[in-house]
Chain A
Amino acid sequence: MSFLYAWAVGLTLSVAIPLILHLRRRNTDRRVAFPALRYLSRAEDARSRSFVASDVLLLATRIGLLLALAFAAAGLLLGRGGAGDHDPTDLALVIDNSASTGRLVGDRPLFEELLDRARQSLAAARPEDRVWVFPTVGPPVAAGVSAVRASEALARVTLSDGGADLVAAVVEASSALPADGARTREVQLVSDLQRTALRGPPRGDVDGTPLIAYLPQPHDEPNAAVSAVQLTGGTTVPSGVGHGVLVSTALGGGPVDDDANEASVRLQLDGRIAGAARIPWGATGTLGLPELPAGTHEGRVEVDPSGARADDIRFFSIQVVAPPGVRFVGPDTSFARIGVETLRQAGRLGASGETVTLVDGVPSRGIAGVGSAESRSTLVLIPPTDPVDLPAYNQVLAGLDIGWSLRPDPERGTLALEEPSTSFSLSGVTVRERYLLVPGAGAAAASDSALLRTEDGEPWLVRTSAGGTVALLLGSPLVPGASDLPTHPAIIPFLEALLVQWSHLAGWPASDFDAGVPIPLPSWASAVTGPDDRRVTVEGGAPFTGDRAGVYRVEGSDPRAGPRAAHFAVNVPADEIDPTLIGLDRLAELFPGRDVVTGGPGAGAWGDRVFGQRRGRDMAPWLLGLALALAAVELFLATPGRAKKRANGSGRWGRTAGDAEASTGTT
């Protein structure tokens, strides 16, 4: 309660009135003639000598009566009625169902507490309110419905393994509310206020809808997790070659126990323990994979349960294929040829076959030198060293129905390459000469992607498909004058990735995915089976969102290659590991232009904050009841009739004509 309201102050100060009257004991309005004043005076003296509980009770009753009335009336003035005393409101309820809310608070997951708070808000909603419900992972489940319907929709929200972008969720929720100005608008964020889920630059809203955020109990123990799992050979590896798994651990939030500063990591492959290691928290270690037969294999790396269970496990899928055969078209002195021979001698490529055709420069026989369409499956095209040959090169591309062309780059300078999403590093590699990869009409389809870019964002390695042919286009020739790559140790891993992982054998997926994030499915996909064996029909090329961590299987049919299948892993995003709460100042900074209020932990604090635009109580019923009860007590204590009734009843001094004789005193 605030005492900024003069009326409330006045009402409260009125409590002093009975105190003053009591202390002065004077009522000059009423004068009663009473000859036996001497007896009354003796009675007064007797009372003043002893504690008179009834007198104090009368005083307390009057003070209580005035206080009850004052606070009951102040409810209207102070505007802080119960949560149910609010104007008609459009409420956007954002419920955080990300993986981090799975951490245990006491003996139950935080997510259940968040659901309780959401239900509490809906219980306080009035019939005329409209409610939108937005899970942070997954689509909205209710839009503009009554609180009852919203409660039903809320029951369908389940804990996911996905990550939350709370800022985006709040902005989305705000924008969903109608902006007709006739109703109060409010966004309630029921989340763990995880610092890493509230990222990005401040997001000011044009409408300034107030945000009421639940503040949960801060975590009191660190959260152990497997933060990353990376296959050293990529998700698609040739058979017969040893590989490993790079495992990174993390301990999010809270102090590290010195006695347990190492994580006990276990590796499972196809449901069987395949390895174990102790890795310091926050470090990365390697666990070797056994030699695997060709086929798809599912694996998981896990640490002991702690905090949120979902991030204690990380899944992966590895596809073991026969080494692809590579046909090289180009000059004998090409660095690319040397690299291919090296890989072949190391057994990383097939000894024969024409699975991948690597073309360095312009083929001497033009498009015919590349081979027939039936014989080629994947093309890797390295541009010519001399820009003079560029038109002929572009003609070859056009002849292959590749919708891309190369153009000289007059602004070229020394540029670094962005790190690839594979196991090798291109750190230190710079590009001095390049061509601009320009998509033509019909190019840049959904299946086209830039696998590598220079630091200025221009594509440097593009994967495209045309006429059933997958083509990888490089932006620079593999010569020392054009880039550091030919003389860099990364040339061999780069060529291997180019020929094995980025070729059609490993076209999809290149890595695992985060839960809750849309995944672009391959064009041939028609169905996806989740880790819970639930199979859903999908449309090829359409995004798919897996909200459960695990290994998924995608099936479909390629018009040229027939039935196909692939596996991909979905894991808890690394941002979900650290349960540290965001600072409240930072929270306000993220939402400039709107009132940000936090309430919690617990139902009481949350109930005080939700529906902040309250109109005050009509009148607190219990306060009025209390006032009436106190008034009755006051009447009983102070009203003259009480004693009269007693005197006429069984009191000692009561007398009538009939019993007068018996009661007449004498000596």
Chain B
Amino acid sequence: MNEPTASFQTPLEAARQRLDLASPREIAGLEHLELVARGVVEGFLIGLHRSPYRGFSAEFAENRPYNRGDDLRYADWKVYARSDRLYIKQFEEETNLRAYVLVDVSGSMDWVSDRERFPTKLEYARLLAASLSLLLMQQGDATGLVAFDTSIRAHLAPRTTRLHWRRLLGKLGELEASGQTEAGTALKDVAQRLQRRGLVILISDLLVDPETTRTSLRFLRHRGHEVLIFHVMDPGELELPAAGEAVFFDPETGDELGTNSAALRKQYREAVETAIAGWKREALRNGAEYAFLTTDTPLGLALRRFFRKRARLG
């Protein structure tokens, strides 16, 4: 007679089964950004059926336990012979790619339409930035961080070490949304700091001055940098809130507009569509990548967009 079995899993364990496809709201509520980001990346990599854990240089650095999907060409057979355990040799990478993850921390990023269903745009951006940076560093790319609103709020130069990633996570965890947005300043600052060809990943709701931002994007492209834009919006921003007649105000700027939402739904949808299409068109014109995300989009899907871009960069 079989005894009934019970499965006890912590929320983290449960989420790690495929955190890349889990609801962003669920994983944003979990602590330990490091573990969450790892879970997201690992789940994403499992979905790809091959390991990205391979170095780009020949200088040995350390061993690490074998993970399913690792390339057996880098297995340390000597250690296996001695200990009967399979380790993968890791090499000190000599990357030729420096990446910056730019996170918008303006006041608008703290807005959420439904706290029960969605994370804030900043929480989503934080998870996305952590996952992207881990993925970059696991591929040997030096990754830095810039948080900005109207100015640079936090800066971390690109590195490739695990310690650096933890420092990056620490910076991400400290970010608070406030102030207005001026993406152009941050982009130009990054352009100045990237001396070599690099990758710039912008995570923002793009409630910015379009002209300044476009100018900065063109400047980055002119300097030979690759640009990937993650346009993050709350699902509640796609459709006008069902508020009827009300005074709408921008928490970031304090601007107000009294109107009847019922009478503007169609026009609002058209305005949002136009804006998204405009950003997409601008990115295409400048050779940048553009990905539109809502805060209910599983992170694995965002990483897939990134992975394709990274693969093209080599």
Contacts and interface: CB of A to CB of B under 8 A. Distances in A.
Interface of A: 21, 25-28, 30-44, 46-47, 52, 54-55, 58, 637-644, 646-647, 651-653, 655-657, 660-661, 664-667
A43 B289 CA distance: 28
B235 A660 contact: no
A666 B289 CA distance: 7
Interface in B263-285: 263-265, 267-276, 280, 283-284
A666 B250 contact: no
A43 B267 contact: yes
A487 to B, nearest CB: 108
Given A43-B271, A665-B292, A35 B240 contact: no
B305 A664 contact: yes
A41 B263 CA distance: 13
A665 B280 contact: yes
Interface stretch (B127-135, B166-174, B254-262): B254-262
A28 B258 CA distance: 8
A657 B23 contact: yes
B263 A639 contact: no
Contacts of B65: none
Nearest to B108: A35
A32 B263 contact: no
Nearest to A21: B245
A30 B245 contact: yes
A266 B298 CA distance: 111
Contacts of B238: 647, 653
28 contacts: A21-B245, A28-B247, A28-B258, A30-B246, A32-B246, A32-B249, A34-B249, A34-B250, A35-B205, A36-B207, A43-B240, A43-B267, A43-B268, A44-B257, A46-B267, A47-B263, A55-B263, A638-B245, A639-B244, A640-B243, A644-B239, A652-B269, A653-B272, A655-B235, A655-B294, A660-B298, A664-B305, A667-B284
Contact of A643 (B205, B262, B273): B262
B92 interface: no
A57 to B, nearest CB: 10
Contact of A666 (B246, B272, B292): B292
Contacts of A656: 296
A643 B296 contact: no
Given A32-B241, A32-B248, A660-B297, A642 B276 contact: no
B282 to A, nearest CB: 10
Interface in B209-239: 233, 235, 237-239
Nearest to A648: B239
A38 B235 CA distance: 16
Contact of A27 (B111, B242, B258, B301): B258
A37 B248 contact: yes
Given A643-B240, A655-B296, A667-B289, A34 B248 contact: yes
A61 B265 CA distance: 19
Contact of A37 (B255, B269, B296): B255
B156 interface: no
Name the 7 nearest CB pairs between A and B, nearest first. Answer: A640-B242, A43-B267, A35-B108, A665-B292, A653-B238, A30-B246, A27-B245
Contacts of B239: 643-644, 647, 651, 653
Contacts of A33: 111, 248-251
Contacts of A41: 255, 257
Contacts, number: 179
A26 B267 CA distance: 19
Given A34-B249, A640-B244, A643-B262, 17 more contacts: A25-B260, A32-B243, A35-B237, A37-B253, A40-B248, A40-B268, A43-B267, A43-B268, A638-B260, A640-B261, A646-B265, A653-B272, A660-B297, A661-B301, A664-B292, A664-B302, A667-B280
A570 B305 CA distance: 114
Interface size class of B (residues with CB under 8 A): 35 or more
Contacts of A39: 237, 268, 271-272, 275
B245 A36 contact: no
B164 to A, nearest CB: 29
B249 A657 contact: no
Contacts of A30: 243-247
A35 B298 contact: no
B114 to A, nearest CB: 11
Nearest to A43: B267
Nearest to A36: B237
Interface of B: 21, 23, 107-108, 111, 205, 207, 233, 235, 237-253, 255, 257-265, 267-276, 280, 283-284, 288-294, 296-298, 301-302, 305
Contacts of A25: 245, 258-260
Nearest to B293: A664
Nearest to B181: A35
A35 B8 CA distance: 42
Nearest to B272: A39
B207 A35 contact: yes
A47 B260 CA distance: 11
Contacts of A638: 244-245, 260, 262
B245 A644 contact: no
A385 B18 CA distance: 150
Nearest to A52: B263
B267 A34 contact: no
Contact of A46 (B237, B270, B280): B270
A642 B262 CA distance: 8
Contacts of A655: 235, 294, 296-297
Nearest to A636: B262
Contacts of A644: 239, 242
A31 B111 contact: no
B205 to A, nearest CB: 7
A639 B244 CA distance: 6
Contacts of B251: 33, 35
Contacts of A43: 240, 264, 267-268, 270-271
A97 B272 CA distance: 80
B252 A35 contact: yes
B262 A37 contact: no
A30 B293 CA distance: 30
A297 B75 CA distance: 150
B246 A37 contact: no
Of listed A43, A637, A642, residue having the most chain B CB within 10 A: A43
A55 to B, nearest CB: 5
B91 to A, nearest CB: 33
A647 B238 CA distance: 9
A651 B239 CA distance: 10
A664 B289 CA distance: 13
Contacts of B249: 31-34, 37
Nearest to A647: B239
Contacts of B21: 657
B257 A35 contact: no
Contact of A667 (B246, B263, B283): B283
A26 B240 CA distance: 17
A632 to B, nearest CB: 14
Q: Which of B255, B259, B283, B292 has the most CB of A within 10 A?
A: B259
A402 to B, nearest CB: 105
A200 B54 CA distance: 127
Contacts of A42: 267, 271, 274
Given A637-B262, A665-B276, A35 B247 contact: no
Contacts of B107: 35
Contacts of A660: 294, 296-298, 301
A59 to B, nearest CB: 10
A523 B206 CA distance: 120
A635 to B, nearest CB: 10
A33 B234 CA distance: 13
B264 A47 contact: yes
Nearest to A55: B263
A52 to B, nearest CB: 6
A592 B221 CA distance: 103
Nearest to A645: B242
A35 B107 CA distance: 8
Contact of A31 (B246, B264, B290, B291): B246
